[in-house]
Amino acid sequence: MTAVLVAEDVHKGVQLASGRRLDLVRAVNLTVAAGESVAVVGRSGSGKSTLLTVLGLLSRPDRGRITVAGRDTATLGDRPLSALRNGAIGFVFQNYSLLAHLDAAENVALPLNHGPRVPGREVRARTADALAAVGLAERARSRPRQLSGGEQQRVAIARALVRDPSLVLADEPTGALDTATADRVLATLTGVTARRGAALVVVTHDREVAMRMDRVLRLEDGVLVEERQPAASAVGERRSACV
Ligand SMILES: Nc1ncnc2c1ncn2[C@@H]1O[C@H](COP(=O)(O)OP(=O)(O)OP(=O)(O)O)[C@@H](O)[C@H]1O
């Protein structure tokens, strides 16, 4: 098993406006293998998004160790950390975080503008492929305000996948989508993990979404508790069916 993401005894708290400290993530241990998908569920406000930002190297843990694609991030300075984040991780934000002055294609292409230079022709081809994968090939020139919430969410997913990340972290990736579109987007996300050997972590409130992942973990009192682990044969079957 090749581990793409390893979190060991990770802790993360936030300072409330009242000055009180809230320890949301208290002892998280998690290993996600290449080709594996994991759902994180839990009640609203339990710290799922906070955990995802720590796993995605967007904020540092208070304690503990996170290893991504074999790199121990605890010892990395800010620049190598952001280079690793940009190169290895695709993040789908709950609020999409699209840039309003850029069209869909330009938003999707953003991760390709950082790190090693990608030739313009390849940028255009990869952007078009990513938009087509989420069913938005026709909307490449639309600005976020010209797109529905669900379309914006799909642009955000295309942006997360455009660089072929080894780890995809998605915060409520189907929250704004109807059932048919959510199905298609989930198939894209799980297809990427299975075909390209990426690891996928999805935060969701939606039971049906959670059940489509290989494992379901619940964040409870700051600890991840295993809710469902399918038989290994079922995971293997699903992976080989997607190749
Ligand atoms: N930077 C911050 N400063 C203060 N409080 C914060 C901060 N980030 C999160 N919180 C609080 O921590 C709690 C957990 O937030 P978080 O967004 O991680 O939960 P969640 O499980 O993802 O919730 P939901 O399912 O509703 O999206 C919430 O009460 C939130 O208000």
CB 29 within 8 A of CB 6: no
pLDDT at 155 over 90: yes
| pTM listed for this prediction | 0.90
pLDDT at 193 over 50: yes
Looking up tokens 């295993």, which residue turns up?
226
Q: How far is the CA of 172 from the centre of ligand 1 (A)?
A: 14
- Its domain, for residue 209, covers 3-242
pLDDT at 237 over 50: no
Whether ligand 1 lies within 6 angstroms of the CB of 166 is answered as no
CA atoms within 13 A on the CB side of 26: 11
What is the number of structural domains in the chain?
1
| Exposed e or buried b per residue across 144-169, where buried means at least 16 C-beta atoms within 10 angstroms of its C-beta | beebeeebbbbbbbbbbbbbebbbbb
Whether the ipTM is more than 0.90: the answer is yes
Tally Cβ neighbours within 10 Å of residue 219: 22
The pLDDT tens digits of the residues spanning 21-42 come to: 999 999 999 999 999 999 999 9
Strand order in the sheet with 71-72: 21-33, 3-15, 63-68, 71-72
| Exposed e or buried b per residue across 1-39, where buried means at least 16 C-beta atoms within 10 angstroms of its C-beta | eebbbbbbebbbbeeeeeeeeeebbbebebebbbbbbbb
| CATH code, domain carrying 207 | 3.40.50.300
Which H/E stretch holds residue 161? helix 149-161
Residue nearest to atom 25 of ligand 1 (CA): 44
Whether ligand 1 lies within 6 angstroms of the CB of 216 is answered as no
* Alpha carbon distance 115, 181 (integer Å): 32
In this prediction, residue 69 carries a pLDDT of 95
Q: How far is the CA of 126 from the centre of ligand 1 (A)?
A: 34
